[in-house]
Structure 1
Amino acid sequence: MRTRSPLITVFAIVLLYFIVLPSQPSTNLRAEVLHPWHNLWGNLYDSYAGYNSLYHIGAAVSTWGLVASGADDKTQRYFQTRNPIGDDFGRWGLFLGWWFQIAPAAGMYFWGLGSDDDDLASGGAAGIQAIAVTGAITMALKLVTGRKAPLKNGTDEFSSGAGFRRTDRADDFVFFNTNFSREEGRFFWPSGHTSSTITFVSAMYTYYPEKTWIAWVGYPVSLAMGLAMIEYDAHWLSDVTAGALIGHVIGYTIGKNFRNSRIAIPQKDARRFNPDEDWHLTFTIMPRQDQIASAAVVSF
Protein backbone atom coordinates (compact mmCIF):
# COMPACT_ATOMS: atom_id res chain seq x y z
CA MET A 1 0.00 0.00 0.00
CA ARG A 2 1.49 3.32 -1.03
CA THR A 3 1.87 6.13 1.41
CA ARG A 4 0.27 9.43 0.72
CA SER A 5 2.34 12.11 -0.93
CA PRO A 6 4.60 13.75 1.68
CA LEU A 7 5.85 17.28 2.24
CA ILE A 8 6.15 17.95 -1.48
CA THR A 9 2.39 17.88 -2.09
CA VAL A 10 1.82 20.09 0.92
CA PHE A 11 4.20 22.65 -0.60
CA ALA A 12 2.20 22.80 -3.84
CA ILE A 13 -1.06 23.27 -1.94
CA VAL A 14 0.43 25.98 0.27
CA LEU A 15 1.68 27.89 -2.76
CA LEU A 16 -1.71 27.81 -4.43
CA TYR A 17 -3.49 28.90 -1.26
CA PHE A 18 -1.21 31.67 -0.03
CA ILE A 19 -0.09 33.10 -3.37
CA VAL A 20 -2.85 32.44 -5.87
CA LEU A 21 -6.15 32.34 -3.98
CA PRO A 22 -5.78 35.31 -1.61
CA SER A 23 -4.41 37.60 -4.29
CA GLN A 24 -6.87 40.30 -5.30
CA PRO A 25 -6.49 42.47 -8.37
CA SER A 26 -5.70 46.11 -7.73
CA THR A 27 -8.58 48.35 -8.77
CA ASN A 28 -6.55 51.55 -8.93
CA LEU A 29 -2.94 51.01 -9.91
CA ARG A 30 -1.89 48.16 -12.16
CA ALA A 31 1.46 47.94 -13.88
CA GLU A 32 1.95 46.01 -17.08
CA VAL A 33 2.35 42.23 -17.01
CA LEU A 34 5.80 40.71 -17.33
CA HIS A 35 5.60 37.59 -19.46
CA PRO A 36 7.71 34.40 -19.27
CA TRP A 37 9.98 35.61 -22.07
CA HIS A 38 10.71 38.96 -20.38
CA ASN A 39 14.44 39.82 -20.61
CA LEU A 40 15.23 36.15 -21.24
CA TRP A 41 18.75 36.56 -22.57
CA GLY A 42 19.64 39.24 -20.06
CA ASN A 43 18.49 37.05 -17.19
CA LEU A 44 20.42 34.10 -18.58
CA TYR A 45 23.57 36.21 -18.77
CA ASP A 46 23.08 37.53 -15.25
CA SER A 47 22.74 33.97 -13.95
CA TYR A 48 26.37 33.37 -14.93
CA ALA A 49 27.83 36.84 -14.49
CA GLY A 50 30.06 37.96 -11.64
CA TYR A 51 29.84 36.03 -8.38
CA ASN A 52 26.99 33.94 -9.78
CA SER A 53 29.56 32.03 -11.82
CA LEU A 54 30.88 30.59 -8.55
CA TYR A 55 27.71 28.54 -8.15
CA HIS A 56 28.23 26.90 -11.53
CA ILE A 57 31.91 26.35 -10.86
CA GLY A 58 30.97 25.03 -7.43
CA ALA A 59 28.65 22.49 -9.02
CA ALA A 60 31.54 21.01 -10.99
CA VAL A 61 34.12 21.26 -8.20
CA SER A 62 31.81 19.74 -5.59
CA THR A 63 31.11 16.82 -7.91
CA TRP A 64 34.82 16.20 -8.39
CA GLY A 65 35.37 16.35 -4.62
CA LEU A 66 32.50 14.00 -3.76
CA VAL A 67 33.59 11.48 -6.37
CA ALA A 68 37.31 11.64 -5.60
CA SER A 69 36.81 11.40 -1.83
CA GLY A 70 34.52 8.41 -2.11
CA ALA A 71 31.66 10.32 -0.44
CA ASP A 72 29.41 9.75 -3.45
CA ASP A 73 29.85 5.99 -3.24
CA LYS A 74 29.56 5.80 0.55
CA THR A 75 26.40 7.90 0.63
CA GLN A 76 24.74 5.80 -2.04
CA ARG A 77 25.59 2.54 -0.32
CA TYR A 78 24.17 3.85 2.94
CA PHE A 79 20.85 4.71 1.33
CA GLN A 80 20.82 1.42 -0.58
CA THR A 81 21.38 -0.74 2.49
CA ARG A 82 19.59 1.25 5.20
CA ASN A 83 16.76 2.92 3.27
CA PRO A 84 16.47 5.60 5.98
CA ILE A 85 13.41 7.33 4.49
CA GLY A 86 11.97 4.52 2.38
CA ASP A 87 11.44 3.80 -1.30
CA ASP A 88 7.86 5.09 -1.17
CA PHE A 89 9.16 8.54 -0.31
CA GLY A 90 11.58 8.38 -3.22
CA ARG A 91 8.88 7.12 -5.57
CA TRP A 92 6.57 10.00 -4.69
CA GLY A 93 9.38 12.49 -5.12
CA LEU A 94 10.23 11.09 -8.54
CA PHE A 95 6.60 11.26 -9.64
CA LEU A 96 5.79 14.72 -8.28
CA GLY A 97 9.08 16.20 -9.42
CA TRP A 98 8.02 16.03 -13.05
CA TRP A 99 5.24 18.60 -12.70
CA PHE A 100 4.60 20.03 -9.24
CA GLN A 101 6.87 23.07 -9.76
CA ILE A 102 5.47 24.15 -13.11
CA ALA A 103 1.84 23.66 -12.03
CA PRO A 104 1.74 26.49 -9.45
CA ALA A 105 3.89 28.74 -11.66
CA ALA A 106 1.54 28.31 -14.62
CA GLY A 107 -1.46 28.63 -12.32
CA MET A 108 -0.20 31.94 -10.97
CA TYR A 109 0.48 33.29 -14.46
CA PHE A 110 -2.85 32.39 -16.03
CA TRP A 111 -4.88 33.18 -12.91
CA GLY A 112 -3.23 36.59 -12.79
CA LEU A 113 -4.00 37.24 -16.44
CA GLY A 114 -7.60 36.19 -16.02
CA SER A 115 -8.18 38.23 -12.87
CA ASP A 116 -6.21 41.31 -14.00
CA ASP A 117 -3.72 40.79 -11.18
CA ASP A 118 -0.56 41.83 -12.99
CA ASP A 119 1.75 41.27 -10.04
CA LEU A 120 0.56 37.68 -9.63
CA ALA A 121 0.84 37.02 -13.36
CA SER A 122 4.36 38.46 -13.40
CA GLY A 123 5.35 36.30 -10.43
CA GLY A 124 4.11 33.23 -12.26
CA ALA A 125 6.02 34.33 -15.35
CA ALA A 126 9.21 34.55 -13.27
CA GLY A 127 8.64 31.01 -12.05
CA ILE A 128 7.98 29.70 -15.54
CA GLN A 129 11.10 31.33 -16.94
CA ALA A 130 13.27 30.07 -14.08
CA ILE A 131 12.04 26.50 -14.54
CA ALA A 132 12.43 26.66 -18.33
CA VAL A 133 15.95 28.12 -18.25
CA THR A 134 17.10 25.75 -15.52
CA GLY A 135 15.56 22.81 -17.36
CA ALA A 136 17.31 23.69 -20.62
CA ILE A 137 20.69 24.13 -18.94
CA THR A 138 20.26 20.96 -16.90
CA MET A 139 19.41 18.92 -19.99
CA ALA A 140 22.39 20.31 -21.89
CA LEU A 141 24.71 19.40 -19.00
CA LYS A 142 23.24 15.90 -18.83
CA LEU A 143 24.08 15.32 -22.47
CA VAL A 144 27.56 16.83 -22.18
CA THR A 145 28.63 14.94 -19.05
CA GLY A 146 27.18 11.52 -19.89
CA ARG A 147 26.85 10.19 -16.35
CA LYS A 148 25.02 7.01 -15.38
CA ALA A 149 22.68 6.49 -12.44
CA PRO A 150 23.72 4.37 -9.45
CA LEU A 151 22.64 0.74 -9.15
CA LYS A 152 19.07 0.22 -8.04
CA ASN A 153 19.22 -1.15 -4.49
CA GLY A 154 22.90 -1.81 -5.04
CA THR A 155 22.43 -4.81 -7.33
CA ASP A 156 20.22 -4.11 -10.34
CA GLU A 157 22.41 -3.00 -13.23
CA PHE A 158 19.61 -2.81 -15.77
CA SER A 159 16.35 -1.31 -14.58
CA SER A 160 13.74 -2.95 -16.78
CA GLY A 161 11.06 -0.50 -15.66
CA ALA A 162 13.08 2.58 -16.55
CA GLY A 163 14.82 0.95 -19.50
CA PHE A 164 18.40 2.13 -18.92
CA ARG A 165 21.62 0.68 -17.60
CA ARG A 166 23.08 1.72 -14.25
CA THR A 167 26.54 1.53 -12.71
CA ASP A 168 28.31 1.00 -9.39
CA ARG A 169 31.02 3.51 -10.31
CA ALA A 170 30.51 7.08 -9.20
CA ASP A 171 33.14 8.22 -11.71
CA ASP A 172 31.34 6.73 -14.72
CA PHE A 173 31.20 9.83 -16.92
CA VAL A 174 31.56 9.98 -20.70
CA PHE A 175 32.04 13.64 -21.55
CA PHE A 176 30.60 14.83 -24.87
CA ASN A 177 28.85 11.50 -25.15
CA THR A 178 27.26 10.85 -28.54
CA ASN A 179 25.17 7.82 -27.57
CA PHE A 180 21.91 9.39 -26.46
CA SER A 181 19.90 6.18 -26.39
CA ARG A 182 17.72 5.62 -23.35
CA GLU A 183 19.19 2.17 -22.81
CA GLU A 184 22.68 3.65 -22.45
CA GLY A 185 21.30 5.91 -19.71
CA ARG A 186 23.96 8.62 -19.68
CA PHE A 187 21.86 11.59 -18.61
CA PHE A 188 22.02 11.96 -14.83
CA TRP A 189 24.26 14.93 -13.98
CA PRO A 190 22.94 17.18 -12.58
CA SER A 191 19.62 16.22 -10.98
CA GLY A 192 16.78 17.86 -12.87
CA HIS A 193 14.20 17.13 -10.18
CA THR A 194 16.36 18.95 -7.64
CA SER A 195 17.32 21.87 -9.88
CA SER A 196 13.76 22.57 -11.03
CA THR A 197 12.40 22.41 -7.49
CA ILE A 198 14.88 24.80 -5.92
CA THR A 199 14.88 27.17 -8.90
CA PHE A 200 11.14 27.73 -8.48
CA VAL A 201 11.50 28.26 -4.74
CA SER A 202 14.36 30.73 -5.20
CA ALA A 203 12.51 32.63 -7.93
CA MET A 204 9.44 32.99 -5.73
CA TYR A 205 11.53 33.94 -2.72
CA THR A 206 13.23 36.83 -4.52
CA TYR A 207 10.10 37.94 -6.38
CA TYR A 208 8.11 38.01 -3.14
CA PRO A 209 10.79 39.01 -0.60
CA GLU A 210 8.15 39.98 1.95
CA LYS A 211 6.74 36.43 1.98
CA THR A 212 9.41 34.84 4.18
CA TRP A 213 7.36 31.66 4.56
CA ILE A 214 8.33 30.74 0.99
CA ALA A 215 11.91 30.16 2.13
CA TRP A 216 10.90 28.38 5.34
CA VAL A 217 8.67 25.97 3.43
CA GLY A 218 10.32 25.84 0.03
CA TYR A 219 13.93 25.09 0.89
CA PRO A 220 13.12 22.14 3.19
CA VAL A 221 10.94 20.79 0.37
CA SER A 222 13.88 21.18 -2.03
CA LEU A 223 16.04 19.25 0.42
CA ALA A 224 13.35 16.56 0.63
CA MET A 225 13.32 16.30 -3.16
CA GLY A 226 17.09 15.83 -3.25
CA LEU A 227 16.95 13.14 -0.57
CA ALA A 228 14.14 11.39 -2.45
CA MET A 229 16.34 11.19 -5.54
CA ILE A 230 19.17 9.58 -3.57
CA GLU A 231 16.86 7.25 -1.65
CA TYR A 232 15.27 5.97 -4.85
CA ASP A 233 18.70 5.51 -6.48
CA ALA A 234 17.71 8.00 -9.16
CA HIS A 235 20.81 10.13 -8.54
CA TRP A 236 24.15 10.27 -6.79
CA LEU A 237 24.72 12.78 -4.00
CA SER A 238 26.85 14.91 -6.30
CA ASP A 239 24.04 15.04 -8.91
CA VAL A 240 21.74 16.48 -6.28
CA THR A 241 24.33 18.93 -4.95
CA ALA A 242 25.11 20.24 -8.42
CA GLY A 243 21.43 20.54 -9.30
CA ALA A 244 20.77 22.53 -6.13
CA LEU A 245 23.60 25.00 -6.79
CA ILE A 246 22.70 25.55 -10.44
CA GLY A 247 18.96 25.74 -9.86
CA HIS A 248 19.25 28.13 -6.94
CA VAL A 249 21.41 30.74 -8.63
CA ILE A 250 19.31 30.76 -11.80
CA GLY A 251 16.00 31.00 -9.94
CA TYR A 252 17.31 33.58 -7.49
CA THR A 253 18.61 35.77 -10.31
CA ILE A 254 15.51 35.55 -12.48
CA GLY A 255 13.12 36.18 -9.59
CA LYS A 256 15.14 39.19 -8.44
CA ASN A 257 15.35 40.66 -11.95
CA PHE A 258 11.61 40.25 -12.46
CA ARG A 259 10.96 41.98 -9.14
CA ASN A 260 13.26 44.87 -10.07
CA SER A 261 11.55 45.21 -13.44
CA ARG A 262 8.18 45.44 -11.74
CA ILE A 263 9.40 48.09 -9.32
CA ALA A 264 10.89 50.12 -12.19
CA ILE A 265 7.55 50.46 -13.98
CA PRO A 266 6.16 53.99 -13.35
CA GLN A 267 2.84 53.34 -11.66
CA LYS A 268 1.21 56.55 -12.84
CA ASP A 269 2.09 55.78 -16.47
CA ALA A 270 0.71 52.26 -16.17
CA ARG A 271 -2.58 53.34 -14.63
CA ARG A 272 -5.53 51.85 -16.46
CA PHE A 273 -8.60 53.92 -17.28
CA ASN A 274 -11.63 53.12 -15.15
CA PRO A 275 -14.78 54.85 -16.46
CA ASP A 276 -16.54 54.46 -13.12
CA GLU A 277 -13.82 56.36 -11.28
CA ASP A 278 -12.01 58.48 -13.84
CA TRP A 279 -14.83 60.54 -15.47
CA HIS A 280 -15.66 63.67 -13.46
CA LEU A 281 -18.00 66.42 -14.65
CA THR A 282 -17.99 69.51 -12.43
CA PHE A 283 -19.44 73.02 -12.66
CA THR A 284 -17.73 75.95 -10.98
CA ILE A 285 -18.34 79.70 -10.69
CA MET A 286 -15.10 81.66 -10.69
CA PRO A 287 -15.23 85.24 -9.28
CA ARG A 288 -13.31 87.87 -11.26
CA GLN A 289 -12.84 91.61 -10.75
CA ASP A 290 -14.95 92.67 -13.70
CA GLN A 291 -17.54 89.91 -13.85
CA ILE A 292 -18.66 86.51 -12.69
CA ALA A 293 -17.89 83.88 -15.28
CA SER A 294 -19.39 80.42 -15.43
CA ALA A 295 -17.24 77.54 -16.56
CA ALA A 296 -17.88 73.87 -17.13
CA VAL A 297 -14.80 71.79 -16.54
CA VAL A 298 -14.40 68.16 -17.49
CA SER A 299 -11.51 66.59 -15.64
CA PHE A 300 -9.87 63.21 -16.35
Structure 2
Amino acid sequence: MELISGTFRHLLKNTLACFSGRKIFLFVAAIAATCYLILSGTDWLYFEHTKNIFFMEWVGAVAGVAGFLVPILLPVEMYRSGRRNKNFEAMRAAMCVAQAELVALIVSIIYKAVTGRAQPELYTAFPVDVSKNFHFGFLQNGVYWGWPSSHTIVATAMAAAIATLYPRHNIAKYGACLYAAFIGFGITFMGHWLSDVVAGALMGIGVGVAIGKAFVNSQKRAT
Protein backbone atom coordinates (compact mmCIF):
# COMPACT_ATOMS: atom_id res chain seq x y z
CA MET A 1 0.00 0.00 0.00
CA GLU A 2 2.89 2.36 0.72
CA LEU A 3 4.11 1.99 -2.85
CA ILE A 4 0.67 2.98 -4.13
CA SER A 5 0.32 5.95 -1.78
CA GLY A 6 3.85 7.08 -2.64
CA THR A 7 3.06 6.85 -6.33
CA PHE A 8 0.16 9.28 -5.93
CA ARG A 9 1.98 11.69 -3.61
CA HIS A 10 2.17 15.18 -5.16
CA LEU A 11 0.82 13.66 -8.38
CA LEU A 12 -0.89 16.79 -9.70
CA LYS A 13 2.00 19.08 -8.78
CA ASN A 14 4.55 16.80 -10.43
CA THR A 15 2.36 16.32 -13.49
CA LEU A 16 2.16 20.08 -14.03
CA ALA A 17 5.94 20.26 -13.64
CA CYS A 18 6.24 18.11 -16.77
CA PHE A 19 4.93 21.05 -18.81
CA SER A 20 6.94 23.78 -17.10
CA GLY A 21 10.22 25.43 -18.02
CA ARG A 22 12.28 24.02 -20.87
CA LYS A 23 10.47 20.68 -20.71
CA ILE A 24 7.53 22.18 -22.60
CA PHE A 25 9.78 22.36 -25.65
CA LEU A 26 9.94 18.55 -25.70
CA PHE A 27 6.17 18.46 -26.18
CA VAL A 28 6.41 21.15 -28.86
CA ALA A 29 9.20 19.14 -30.51
CA ALA A 30 6.98 16.04 -30.43
CA ILE A 31 4.29 17.87 -32.39
CA ALA A 32 6.82 19.40 -34.80
CA ALA A 33 8.53 16.06 -35.43
CA THR A 34 5.18 14.42 -36.06
CA CYS A 35 4.22 17.06 -38.61
CA TYR A 36 7.53 16.66 -40.40
CA LEU A 37 7.41 12.85 -40.50
CA ILE A 38 3.86 12.91 -41.83
CA LEU A 39 4.18 15.71 -44.38
CA SER A 40 7.54 14.50 -45.69
CA GLY A 41 6.08 11.04 -46.27
CA THR A 42 8.60 9.45 -43.89
CA ASP A 43 5.87 7.86 -41.76
CA TRP A 44 4.38 6.05 -44.73
CA LEU A 45 7.77 5.19 -46.24
CA TYR A 46 8.96 3.65 -42.96
CA PHE A 47 5.78 1.61 -42.65
CA GLU A 48 6.00 0.35 -46.24
CA HIS A 49 9.63 -0.75 -45.87
CA THR A 50 9.27 -2.40 -42.46
CA LYS A 51 6.01 -4.25 -43.00
CA ASN A 52 7.27 -7.75 -42.29
CA ILE A 53 5.39 -10.68 -40.76
CA PHE A 54 8.43 -11.87 -38.79
CA PHE A 55 8.97 -8.48 -37.19
CA MET A 56 5.26 -8.04 -36.52
CA GLU A 57 4.78 -11.45 -34.91
CA TRP A 58 8.06 -11.65 -32.98
CA VAL A 59 9.80 -8.34 -32.43
CA GLY A 60 6.53 -6.44 -32.18
CA ALA A 61 4.92 -9.05 -29.96
CA VAL A 62 7.88 -9.16 -27.57
CA ALA A 63 7.97 -5.37 -27.38
CA GLY A 64 4.23 -5.28 -26.76
CA VAL A 65 4.38 -7.77 -23.89
CA ALA A 66 7.58 -6.35 -22.38
CA GLY A 67 6.23 -2.83 -22.67
CA PHE A 68 3.21 -3.89 -20.62
CA LEU A 69 4.83 -6.12 -17.97
CA VAL A 70 8.14 -4.39 -17.18
CA PRO A 71 6.60 -1.04 -16.12
CA ILE A 72 4.44 -2.96 -13.64
CA LEU A 73 6.97 -5.47 -12.34
CA LEU A 74 10.03 -3.21 -12.10
CA PRO A 75 8.80 -0.69 -9.50
CA VAL A 76 7.16 -3.49 -7.50
CA GLU A 77 10.42 -5.45 -7.38
CA MET A 78 12.44 -2.29 -6.64
CA TYR A 79 10.16 -1.55 -3.70
CA ARG A 80 10.19 -5.13 -2.39
CA SER A 81 13.97 -5.30 -2.62
CA GLY A 82 14.36 -1.94 -0.91
CA ARG A 83 12.00 -2.88 1.88
CA ARG A 84 13.68 -6.25 2.39
CA ASN A 85 17.11 -4.60 2.66
CA LYS A 86 15.83 -1.53 4.53
CA ASN A 87 17.02 0.59 1.60
CA PHE A 88 14.73 3.60 1.75
CA GLU A 89 16.39 5.20 -1.28
CA ALA A 90 15.38 2.21 -3.41
CA MET A 91 11.84 2.35 -2.02
CA ARG A 92 11.54 6.03 -2.96
CA ALA A 93 13.03 5.30 -6.36
CA ALA A 94 10.32 2.69 -6.92
CA MET A 95 7.65 5.28 -6.13
CA CYS A 96 9.32 7.76 -8.49
CA VAL A 97 9.48 5.27 -11.37
CA ALA A 98 5.87 4.21 -10.79
CA GLN A 99 4.69 7.83 -10.75
CA ALA A 100 6.62 8.66 -13.93
CA GLU A 101 4.99 5.70 -15.67
CA LEU A 102 1.53 6.66 -14.41
CA VAL A 103 1.85 10.29 -15.51
CA ALA A 104 3.18 9.20 -18.91
CA LEU A 105 0.21 6.87 -19.35
CA ILE A 106 -2.26 9.61 -18.40
CA VAL A 107 -0.63 12.06 -20.83
CA SER A 108 -0.77 9.55 -23.68
CA ILE A 109 -4.42 8.70 -23.00
CA ILE A 110 -5.41 12.38 -23.03
CA TYR A 111 -3.61 13.03 -26.31
CA LYS A 112 -5.03 9.88 -27.90
CA ALA A 113 -8.54 10.73 -26.75
CA VAL A 114 -8.50 14.12 -28.48
CA THR A 115 -6.41 13.40 -31.60
CA GLY A 116 -7.98 10.11 -32.71
CA ARG A 117 -5.18 9.18 -35.07
CA ALA A 118 -5.82 6.24 -37.42
CA GLN A 119 -3.44 3.31 -37.02
CA PRO A 120 -1.61 1.67 -39.97
CA GLU A 121 -3.28 -1.39 -41.46
CA LEU A 122 -0.84 -4.18 -40.71
CA TYR A 123 -2.44 -7.10 -42.51
CA THR A 124 -3.99 -5.42 -45.56
CA ALA A 125 -2.49 -6.60 -48.86
CA PHE A 126 -2.80 -3.18 -50.52
CA PRO A 127 -2.75 -0.69 -47.67
CA VAL A 128 -3.87 2.89 -48.11
CA ASP A 129 -1.80 5.74 -46.71
CA VAL A 130 -3.80 6.90 -43.70
CA SER A 131 -0.83 8.42 -41.89
CA LYS A 132 -2.39 11.88 -42.22
CA ASN A 133 -5.75 10.80 -40.80
CA PHE A 134 -6.54 12.38 -37.45
CA HIS A 135 -10.07 12.46 -36.05
CA PHE A 136 -9.96 15.38 -33.65
CA GLY A 137 -12.68 15.49 -31.04
CA PHE A 138 -13.15 13.14 -28.12
CA LEU A 139 -12.68 9.36 -28.30
CA GLN A 140 -13.08 9.36 -32.07
CA ASN A 141 -10.67 6.42 -32.36
CA GLY A 142 -10.44 5.14 -28.80
CA VAL A 143 -7.28 5.29 -26.67
CA TYR A 144 -5.62 1.98 -27.57
CA TRP A 145 -4.20 2.98 -30.94
CA GLY A 146 -3.12 6.47 -31.85
CA TRP A 147 -0.70 9.27 -31.11
CA PRO A 148 1.56 9.10 -29.16
CA SER A 149 2.57 5.49 -28.49
CA SER A 150 1.67 4.63 -24.88
CA HIS A 151 4.25 1.84 -24.76
CA THR A 152 6.98 4.24 -25.85
CA ILE A 153 6.10 7.19 -23.63
CA VAL A 154 5.84 4.95 -20.55
CA ALA A 155 9.10 3.10 -21.30
CA THR A 156 10.95 6.35 -22.00
CA ALA A 157 9.55 8.05 -18.90
CA MET A 158 10.71 5.07 -16.85
CA ALA A 159 14.20 5.24 -18.37
CA ALA A 160 14.46 9.03 -17.95
CA ALA A 161 13.36 8.80 -14.31
CA ILE A 162 15.95 6.10 -13.59
CA ALA A 163 18.67 8.11 -15.36
CA THR A 164 17.74 11.17 -13.30
CA LEU A 165 17.73 9.22 -10.04
CA TYR A 166 20.95 7.32 -10.76
CA PRO A 167 23.08 9.54 -13.04
CA ARG A 168 26.29 7.72 -12.06
CA HIS A 169 24.91 4.18 -12.19
CA ASN A 170 25.74 3.29 -15.78
CA ILE A 171 24.21 -0.20 -15.76
CA ALA A 172 20.84 1.05 -14.52
CA LYS A 173 20.91 4.17 -16.68
CA TYR A 174 21.98 2.63 -19.97
CA GLY A 175 20.06 -0.58 -19.37
CA ALA A 176 16.83 1.38 -18.96
CA CYS A 177 17.60 3.44 -22.07
CA LEU A 178 18.27 0.31 -24.16
CA TYR A 179 14.98 -1.17 -22.95
CA ALA A 180 13.11 2.00 -23.94
CA ALA A 181 14.80 2.02 -27.36
CA PHE A 182 13.80 -1.60 -27.97
CA ILE A 183 10.20 -0.92 -26.98
CA GLY A 184 10.04 2.08 -29.30
CA PHE A 185 11.57 0.16 -32.20
CA GLY A 186 9.45 -2.94 -31.65
CA ILE A 187 6.17 -1.12 -31.25
CA THR A 188 6.44 0.30 -34.78
CA PHE A 189 5.55 -3.24 -35.87
CA MET A 190 2.46 -3.31 -33.65
CA GLY A 191 0.11 -0.75 -35.15
CA HIS A 192 2.00 2.48 -34.59
CA TRP A 193 3.50 4.98 -36.99
CA LEU A 194 7.12 6.02 -36.61
CA SER A 195 5.97 9.49 -35.53
CA ASP A 196 3.85 7.95 -32.74
CA VAL A 197 7.06 6.51 -31.32
CA VAL A 198 9.18 9.63 -31.82
CA ALA A 199 6.52 11.78 -30.14
CA GLY A 200 6.16 9.28 -27.31
CA ALA A 201 9.91 9.25 -26.72
CA LEU A 202 10.19 13.04 -26.59
CA MET A 203 7.22 13.37 -24.26
CA GLY A 204 8.48 10.50 -22.12
CA ILE A 205 11.82 12.23 -21.59
CA GLY A 206 10.02 15.34 -20.38
CA VAL A 207 7.83 13.38 -17.99
CA GLY A 208 10.62 11.17 -16.63
CA VAL A 209 13.05 14.02 -16.04
CA ALA A 210 10.39 16.16 -14.35
CA ILE A 211 9.23 13.40 -12.00
CA GLY A 212 12.79 12.26 -11.32
CA LYS A 213 13.92 15.78 -10.40
CA ALA A 214 10.86 16.27 -8.20
CA PHE A 215 11.75 13.18 -6.16
CA VAL A 216 15.46 14.09 -6.02
CA ASN A 217 14.65 17.59 -4.77
CA SER A 218 12.17 16.21 -2.26
CA GLN A 219 14.85 13.88 -0.90
CA LYS A 220 17.34 16.76 -0.62
CA ARG A 221 14.84 18.84 1.35
CA ALA A 222 14.15 15.90 3.66
CA THR A 223 17.84 15.56 4.50
Confirm or deny a common fold (TM above 0.5). Answer: yes
The worse-fitting range, judged by mean Cα deviation, of 191-200 and 205-214 is 205-214
Q: Which residue of 1 aligns with 2:63?
A: 93
Counterpart in the other structure of 2:79: 109
- Equivalent residue letter for 1:209: P
Superposed CA RMSD in Å reads 2.2
Shift of 1:137: 0.8
CA spacing shift, 1:199–1:80, aligned 2, 3 Å:
same
Change (3 A) 1:154 1:80: farther
> Which residue of structure 1 lines up, in the alignment, with residue 133 of structure 2?
172
Count of aligned positions = 219
Tell me which residue corresponds to 1:255.
Answer: 212
Deviation at 1:180, TM superposition (A): 5.3
Q: Which residue of 1 aligns with 2:49?
A: 78
Distance (whole Å) between structure 1 residues aligned to residue 196 and residue 72 of structure 2: 21
Which residue in the other structure is 1:209 paired with? 167
Looking at structure 1, the residues matched to 110 and 63 of structure 2 have their Cα atoms a distance apart, in angstroms, of: 23
Gaps of at least 5 residues in structure 2 are none
Q: Could you list the per-position Cα deviations for residues 74-99 of structure 1 after superposition, in whole angstroms to 9, with x for gaps in the alignment?
A: 00001015x68563111111122112
Contact 1:170–1:236 (8 Å) recurs in 2: yes
Percent sequence identity is: 25
- The CA distance in 2 between the partners of 1:47 and 1:87, in whole Å, is 35
- Is 2:183 the partner of 1:225? yes
- Name the amino acid aligned to 2:19: Y
Aligned to 2:147: 189
Q: In the alignment, residue 236 of structure 1 is paired with which amino acid?
A: W
Map 1:52-67 → 2, pairs under 5 A: 52-67=23-38
Deviation (angstroms), 1:241: 0.4
Give SS of 1:231's match. coil
CA–CA separation in structure 1 for the residues paired with 2:130 and 2:45: 11
Higher strand share: 1
CA distance in 1: counterparts of 2:11 and 2:47, whole angstroms: 37
Aligned equivalents of 1:116, 1:156: Cα separation in 2: 58
Distance verdict in 2 for CA 1:87–1:156, change over 3 Å: farther
Distance (Å, rounded) in 2 between the aligned partners of 1:190 and 1:179: 15
**Aligned pair in 2 of structure 1 residues 84, 61: CA closer, same or farther (>3 Å)?**
farther
Confirm whether residue 235 of structure 1 aligns to residue 189 of structure 2: no
The 5-angstrom pairing of residues 143-158 of structure 1 reads 143-155=113-125
Give the superposition deviation at 1:107.
Answer: 1.9
Q: Larger RCO: Structure 1 or Structure 2 (Cα < 8 Å, ≥ 6 residues apart)?
A: 2
Q: CA deviation at 1:246?
A: 0.7
Deviation at 1:153, TM superposition (A): 4.1
Contact 1:195 1:244 in 2 (8 A): yes
Structure whose CA Rg is larger:
1
Partner residue of 1:128? 98
Secondary structure of the structure 2 residue equivalent to 1:62: helix
How far apart are residue 236 of structure 1 and its match? 0.2
In the TM superposition, residue 115 of structure 1 has moved relative to its aligned partner by 4.2
1:174 corresponds to which letter in structure 2? H
1:111 offset after TM fit, Å? 3.6
Structure 1 position 213, deviation (Å): 2.1
Deviation at 1:207, TM superposition (A): 1.0
TM-score, structure 1 as length reference: 0.67
